Amino acid sequence: KNEVEQSPQNLTAQEGEFITINCSYSVGISALHWLQQHPGGGIVSLFMLSSGKKKHGRLIATINIQEKHSSLHITASHPRDSAVYICAVRRGGGGGADGLTFGKGTHLIIQP
Amino acid sequence: KAGVTQTPRYLIKTRGQQVTLSCSPISGHRSVSWYQQTPGQGLQFLFEYFSETQRNKGNFPGRFSGRQFSNSRSEMNVSTLELGDSALYLCASSLAFFPRDSYTGELFFGEGSRLTVL
């Protein structure tokens, strides 16, 4: 079993829908990252979380440390949100103790 | 300010050769990390450097090595290339190795170096 599991693996939705992508992990972590990768390879960091909730524009990320679970929400989805969304965790309780461990990614397609 | 720069962007090598990839972090960033991305394995952590010292290493064979220079630029080297080393190699930089918050810990990725081994 992978240390970081994402669901769903693939998601197709209509423009305007509310999107939720989930990430569960099995180890103690110091931080969790949500990343976005568009076709062609470039990766953009969306959020880095260690507790609670963060919001940036139409994107919201939450984390529940006790349940070892994080969610990424997209409100009012748009075709330009189509990308692969990747969850990554940094193990350890003391900051940058270990390198990142990645989920397999969620392929999101937003249709007009 | 300029982003993370990786060179070369594309390269083709044959089995048994070696390759060196370069990463220039954002100015002021002292932490550089390297990742391999393949369709089968996804993203995997290779190494992490801070202040010219390797702080972490992923589960890769000794053929994979790296270093960081005093100006924070980093290189990684793969010797005795195998077909399975074909991948996109990404580097990322951040302000700190022990991030206190998302400002110091946010990762900025380069566009990657796409290696094909024939």
Instruction: Say yes or no to pLDDT of A96 above 50.
Output: no
Q: What is the mean pLDDT of residues B57-86?
A: 96
Convert the pLDDT of each residue in B71-80 to its tens digit: 999 999 999 9
Q: SS3 letters for A8-52?
A: CCEEEEECCCCEEEEEEECCCEEEEEEEEECCCCCEEEEEEECCE
| Model confidence band, residue A99 (pLDDT cutoffs 50, 70, 90) | confident
pLDDT value at residue B66: 96
Convert the pLDDT of each residue in A51-86 to its tens digit: 999 999 999 999 999 999 999 999 999 999 999 999
Q: What is the mean pLDDT of residues A29-49?
A: 91
| Cβ contact, residue pair B105, A102, below 8 Å | no
Instruction: Say yes or no to pLDDT of A93 above 60.
Output: no
| Cβ contact, residue pair A102, B97, below 8 Å | no
CA distance B103 to B92: 14
**Shortest alpha-carbon distance between residue B57 and chain A (Å):** 7
| Model confidence band, residue B61 (pLDDT cutoffs 50, 70, 90) | very high
Instruction: Say yes or no to pLDDT of A16 above 60.
Output: yes
pLDDT value at residue B1: 63
